[in-house]
Amino acid sequence: MSRTRQTIAKKPRPRRQSKPKVRKRKNKLNQTRLWFTVLEFLSLTVTAAIGTLLALGYFAQQFSGSDFYTNLLPFAAGIVGLVVVAALGLLLWSQIRKRLIEFAWILPSLLAIGLAAGSARLASQTDYLATFKQLRSLVGGKQQVRSETLAHQVYAAYRRHDAEQLQTIILRANPYYAIINEAAKAYQLDPELLCGLAATESSFLPRDSHDGGHGLFQITAVPKSIMEQARLRLAVSKLSLTDTRHNAFIAAATLKFYLSEMHNDLYLGLLAYNIGPRNGGLAFIMKQYGATDFVTMQPYLQELPRDYPIRVLSQALAFRLWQHDGKLLAYQEGSNANHIQTLGIPGLPSVF
């Protein structure tokens, strides 16, 4: 009896992946792990930095003063304690990291990112901003204290303003915004600062005044070099002080000149703008009295406008509030003070 041969189809064997493909996949995975490790390190750094700032701010708030036993010694002890806590935190993280990797290699990175996000959110809350302010005052020293003192003068001046009168001036300024923005852009100035300057000089009622001032910015004596610079910027053959656009460009050029002369100190630049070449100019007056900044200069301004920069900046602040909130907030109501301080004074870096 013959057997019938049947052909049995064999399943094709799976091809083994070539070694280059395996290596490529491993390299890609290693690269991904490396990036997540870097992200983990950066997130932990952010968390540690925010925690350190909060702790230092708290210490500065609780132990501010000059007494050795009740202020300085507890503050130093707090710093030592912070270092110990940081060291223990690193040890704890190394143990947690080992446990997490057993489940999935990506978990430590995700946890670190979550900690950083939570720390940032905590630090952004109003209650914790006060600790940062306290630390900034401590680290900034005399310079920071002076900046905060002047800023408070601006906020106090804004608070004293009649809100209805300020609103009338702001509404009156509407036709001039485009011109002021153009001049501010040409000379890299804050347009709200120029608005405050015009509001202080003319209340946005361009006119010739009895003391020789002209137009929106009440231009009086201006060095010829500044006039020539403004003329070239405007690309005109002749300047007219009664032309609002010319007036705004001359004012911006003049303020920029005095800011440069006063090493970009805004308070001194505004004061120099107002004084002009009178009595030899502000630079000469400061040299005569040995003054180095606006704070040390103020006591000598008995017959000169010692509050002029404060008035300009308080009105510039009103324009900023109007642009941001659509209304003038009462400084003393609710959380308005914190909100206004967060917005900051036009032309100045935030000091709070």
pLDDT tens column, 17-35: 556 666 777 778 788 888 9
Structural domain that includes position 33:
19-124
Q: Using one digit for the tens of pLDDT, what is the confidence trace for 175-198?
A: 999 999 999 999 999 999 999 999
Count of domains forming the chain: 2
In this structure, the answer to whether residues 279 and 236 fall within a common structural domain is yes
Contact residues for 169 (Cβ-Cβ < 8 A; gap 6+): 199, 203, 204, 315
In this structure, the answer to whether residues 76 and 180 fall within a common structural domain is no
The answer to whether residue 6 is domain-embedded is: no
The answer to whether residue 115 is domain-embedded is: yes
Predicted confidence (pLDDT) at residue 2 exceeds the cutoff of 50: no
In this structure, the answer to whether residues 170 and 114 fall within a common structural domain is no
In this structure, the answer to whether residues 179 and 269 fall within a common structural domain is yes
In this structure, the answer to whether residues 232 and 331 fall within a common structural domain is yes
In this structure, the answer to whether residues 97 and 175 fall within a common structural domain is no
In this structure, the answer to whether residues 152 and 212 fall within a common structural domain is yes
| Average pLDDT of every residue of the chain | 85
**Chain-centre distance for alpha carbon 71:** 31
Round to whole Å and give the CA distance between 151 and 145: 10
The answer to whether residue 249 is domain-embedded is: yes
Q: Which of 73, 96, 124 is the last residue of a domain?
A: 124
Residue 215: its H or E element: strand 214-215
Q: Which of 90, 124, 158 is the last residue of a domain?
A: 124
Give bridge partners of residue 214 from the DSSP assignment: 208, 219
Round to whole Å and give the CA distance between 204 and 172: 6
pTM over 0.75: no
Reported confidence tier of residue 304, pLDDT bands at 50, 70, 90: low
SS3 11: coil
In this structure, the answer to whether residues 271 and 195 fall within a common structural domain is yes
In this structure, the answer to whether residues 108 and 164 fall within a common structural domain is no
* CATH assignment of the domain containing 153: 1.10.530.10
In this structure, the answer to whether residues 42 and 185 fall within a common structural domain is no
In this structure, the answer to whether residues 111 and 205 fall within a common structural domain is no
